[in-house]
Amino acid sequence: MAVSGKGKGKGAGSGSTTTKNFGNARDLTVRLKTARGRSASSQRWLERQLNDPYVAAAKREGWRSRAAFKLIEIDDKYRFLKPGQRVVDLGAAPGGWSQVAALRVKAVEGRGQVIAIDYLPVDAIAGVTILELDFLDEDAPDRLKSLLRDGGADIVLSDMAAPTTGHTSTDHLRIMGLAEVAAAFAAEVLAPGGVFLAKVFQGGTERSLLDTLKRDFSIVRHVKPKASRADSAELYVLATGFRGRA
C-alpha cells in the first residue's frame, strides 16, 4: 500500500507564515455544470476546491497546498519549529509542510535541515532534501537516517494518508497504522526533547499508540487546526518533549 501526503496543487514561493481571517469567505459560491465523464464525487471535490478560501490563499501566497496552513496554525500555537532544527516530513507531497518547515527552521540559510519523503514526485523546494521513495519500503528509514545531520532529528512530521475506501472502520485502521509506523520511526531518530506530529482520524488515537506516545513524550494532545475542513474526520496528534531512547 503506497502512502502519500494529502493536498493538491503546486507552487514555488515561500509565502507568508501567518494565518488569515477567512470568515467572510463567502457569498461567492462557484458551482460547476456536470461534465460528461465526471463522477458525482469528483464534481463535489472540484466545487469544494473552488470555494475553499484556504485553497485560494495557498495559490495566492505560493504554498504547494492548503495543508501548509494546518502546520502554520499548529506551530503558531505550540511553537515547536525553531531555527537550526532537523525535520523529517513523511508523506510530503506536494510539499506544503516542507515549505513551512524549511522557512521556520531556516534551512535555506543552512541553519536547519528538512528531509522530505514521498513516493510521489515533489518539485524542488529551497532548503529541502527530497527523497522519492515510499516510506513503507524496507530501506526507507535507513535512507532517511543517512541524510540527517548526525543521523538524528528534532521533529518528525507525518501527513501520510492511504487511499480511502469509503468504509469508515477500514480507513480509520489504515490511517492509524501509518501513524504507528511514523511514531516508531520517530522513536528511533528523535533527539531528547523532540516533537512528533501525525495525522490521525477523529474517534481519537488508538489506545496502544496513545500509550506508547505518553510513555515516550512528556505531553501528548489532539489538535484540529481551523484549516482542516469542518466536515473532515482528520485530526492530528502532537507529542512534545521526547524522553529519549531507552
Which positions are annotated as active-site residues? 199
Write out the E strands in 44-107. Answer: 86-90
Cell of 9: 496543487
Write out the E strands in 91-227. Answer: 113-118, 128-132, 153-158, 160-161, 190-201, 217-223
CB 84 within 8 A of CB 96: no
Phi-psi region of 150 (alpha: psi -120 to 50; beta: other; left: phi over 0): left
Of all residues in the chain, what percent are helix, strand and coil, respectively (each to 5)?
35, 20, 45
